[in-house]
Chains A and B, each alone.
Chain A
Amino acid sequence: MKVFRYLAVSVDSIFAHKLRAALTMLGIIIGIAAVLVTVGIGSGAAASITERIESSGTNLLTISAGASRGLSSTSSLTLADADLLADATLFPDIVAVAPQYSSSATVIFGSSEGSYTVVGTTANYATVRNLTVAGGAFLSDAQVAESESVAVIGDTVASDLFGADDPVGQTVRVDDTLFTVIGVLEASGGSGFGSSDSQIYVPLGSAQGRLFNAGRSNGSYAVSSISVQGAGSAVLDALQVQIEQILRLRHRLAAADENDFMIQNQADMLQIASDVSGTLTALLGSIGAVSLIVGGIGIMNIMLVSVTERTSEIGLRRALGAHDGDILLQFLVEALVLCALGGVVGIGLSFAIAQGLALLPAMSYRIVIEPWAVALALAVSTASGFIFGLYPAMRATKLDPIEALRFE
């Protein structure tokens, strides 16, 4: 194929003008790197959000006390509700139920103190919420049944209060009540509210009775939320409806009344997260794409200058027997090679930038440059070489060889 022979000609020409070639490629390099890095940031954020949602447990429904809107009535959800949901004959699709009663409290060890969320819960909370114990053990059924004064602390709490020392076996003071630390959780990597890292877990009864003096409703202790683990992601939607109906009945809500509880579906949250990150990625990608177009116009600009500058070369090639097609192909292949080369360098640069950004302490997630994005970047850069190289190449074929050679 004659086209392949032009590769050698254009590579020769590119190497004969290294600086010009480098400057020409710069636009494409920056464009490709910008697209890949921005899309990579979007993908990375999406992966990080998904990971964080999934790390809080799988196939999870979270029922919280209080209306989704308006003032919350804290005592709407009770332990009796949780016990009902735990009835396997009524809800065969529910694998596990973990009620929680949480509030914030001051925790003191020695001279260190801090304010943390204290969560009273049951032993199966660890499996439902996908918690891993780094040292010691999680709450046992017996400890929960007896409402013992034991606590499992999050990674952040442990490092805040105990530094490098082993907290297991130590006694901490939680709002004037002494608790023995029996376990430390592994760091979950999450941060902010609701992260298990900055929480303390105690038996449900200890939190309700001894610590916070929880209210009662119909003779049953109030809980602040109930975590429900479904049998699979497919049953979550149906389960959500079932639970909503049964709780409305139990709470004696009339048809016009709003729910006095709120159910969060993990599948919904994942969907929302992926929608948001998809939009984010598209937005960032389109900003990058603009820079790619600018880069392409830069290529066209420099190729046009290059055609004018190489007028005599084109005249010579014609004198030596080059057809219109030969001249067209030469300049087109040159633009294509420049853009493809720029694309490859841009891909390399984007990986380097991703590596560099990952070293920044403020960067809480990785930049994920996916294979499809790389393939797309190469395709786009080659296509822009074709689009933006075509016009200069056509201009080159229109040159009059006599003008070009200036015989006299």
Chain B
Amino acid sequence: MGKNSAEHAEHADDRDPVITMRDVTKTYQMGAMQVHALRGVSLEIAAGEYVAIVGASGSGKSTLMNIIGLLDWPTSGAYAINGVEVARLSKNRLADLRNREIGFVFQRFHLLPRTTARRQVELPLFYAGVPDRTARRRALDALAQVGLGERVDHRPDELSGGQQQRVAIARALVTQPSILLADEPTGALDSQTGKEVMALFHELNEQGITLIVVTHDLGIASQAQRIITLRDGEIISDAPAARQTSPFLSASTNGQGARPAIPAQEVLA
């Protein structure tokens, strides 16, 4: 669609775009039915932006996130990350790009069981081929950065939920990616711990990292500089958080754990 391109151009300003999408569509074949998860999404995200992507279940926001995170391919359209067009990259080149450019933070942390925090954080560096000694030092630095410098030898079952998510954030940061991609990062945390994690995200964003948060949660989304709202595989609003006009957000009553107003099956229509 791209009807909001003029609107978001003012955020992009003179900064280089980290993410550029042009008319991206994604169609799944489910039995005899074709599911149009994305119906032509165009957007640009500049370096250092703090963006929230919101939308109901089935709005296509997970698909958009998978494509941004290089875990899925667009059916059509162009997607470039830091100027690198990804459509024709091999599976392994995509893996390298993911390793270097994107730090993932998941709702359920996705830490390896019975593995110390330091080992968890070293993992992306292992796949990047960083020598052990350097990897160890960088992992310790990343853990210190998220305030876990004292608990590097603790295993997930010895850490609180908030601490586990910090380990996950350290793991996302350790390769010094250009984008931090967080999927419901506070979804499995109590509200106080959630606030602390969001404060950490804020801090990291202020230090310059591009932050993309996918969420249902109004309270979380409203902390972003810019909110992109999806419905039925299209961007229906893309605006700074301060002058929010998202129909999704206005339909919800309040912040914590707000449920989407739009039924999931709409996407199948």
By a beta-carbon cutoff of 8 Å, the part of chain A in contact with chain B is 2, 5, 9, 12, 15-17, 312-313, 315-326, 401-402, 405, 407-408
Interface string of B97-138 (1 = CB under 8 A from A): 011100010100010111100010001101111001000000
A321 near B99 (CB under 8 angstroms)? yes
Inter-chain CA distance A401–B69, complex, in Å, is 11
Min CB gap A228→B, angstroms: 73
Q: Which chain B residues border A16 with CB–CB below 8 Å?
A: 112-115
Min CB gap B164→A, angstroms: 13
A323 near B95 (CB under 8 angstroms)? yes
Using a CB-CB cutoff of 8 Å, which residues 77-111 of chain B contact chain A?
Answer: 91-92, 95-96, 98-100, 104, 106, 110
Inter-chain CA distance A313–B108, complex, in Å, is 12
Q: Which chain B residues border A17 with CB–CB below 8 Å?
A: 114
Q: Which chain B residues border A322 with CB–CB below 8 Å?
A: 95, 127
Min CB gap A192→B, angstroms: 60
Q: Which chain A residues border B71 with CB–CB below 8 Å?
A: 318-319, 401-402, 405
Query: Does residue B25 face the partner (Cβ distance < 8 Å to A)?
Result: no
Please, which residue of chain A has its CB at the minimum distance from the CB of B98?
A321
Say which residue of A12, A321, A405, A407 sits within 8 Å of B128 (CB atoms): A321
Inter-chain CA distance A17–B126, complex, in Å, is 21
Q: Which chain A residues border B99 with CB–CB below 8 Å?
A: 320-321
Min CB gap A244→B, angstroms: 77
Query: Does residue B65 face the partner (Cβ distance < 8 Å to A)?
Result: yes
Say which residue of A320, A321, A324, A407 sits within 8 Å of B66 (CB atoms): A407
A321 near B183 (CB under 8 angstroms)? no
Tally of contacts, chain A with chain B, CB under 8 A: 72
Using a CB-CB cutoff of 8 Å, which residues 205-254 of chain B contact chain A?
Answer: 214
Min CB gap A14→B, angstroms: 11
Q: Which chain B residues border A407 with CB–CB below 8 Å?
A: 62, 65-66, 106, 183, 214
Q: Which of B66, B69, B71 has the most CB of A within 10 A?
A: B71
Please, which residue of chain A has its CB at the minimum distance from the CB of B109?
A316
A402 near B66 (CB under 8 angstroms)? yes
A321 near B106 (CB under 8 angstroms)? no
Query: Does residue B57 face the partner (Cβ distance < 8 Å to A)?
Result: yes
Q: List 28 A-B contacts (CB under 8 A).
A: A2-B129, A5-B132, A9-B126, A12-B115, A16-B113, A16-B114, A313-B112, A315-B110, A316-B112, A317-B127, A319-B69, A319-B98, A320-B98, A320-B99, A321-B98, A321-B127, A321-B175, A322-B95, A322-B127, A323-B92, A325-B92, A401-B71, A405-B106, A407-B62, A407-B66, A407-B106, A407-B214, A408-B184
Query: Does residue B158 face the partner (Cβ distance < 8 Å to A)?
Result: no
Q: Which chain B residues border A319 with CB–CB below 8 Å?
A: 69, 71, 98, 104, 110
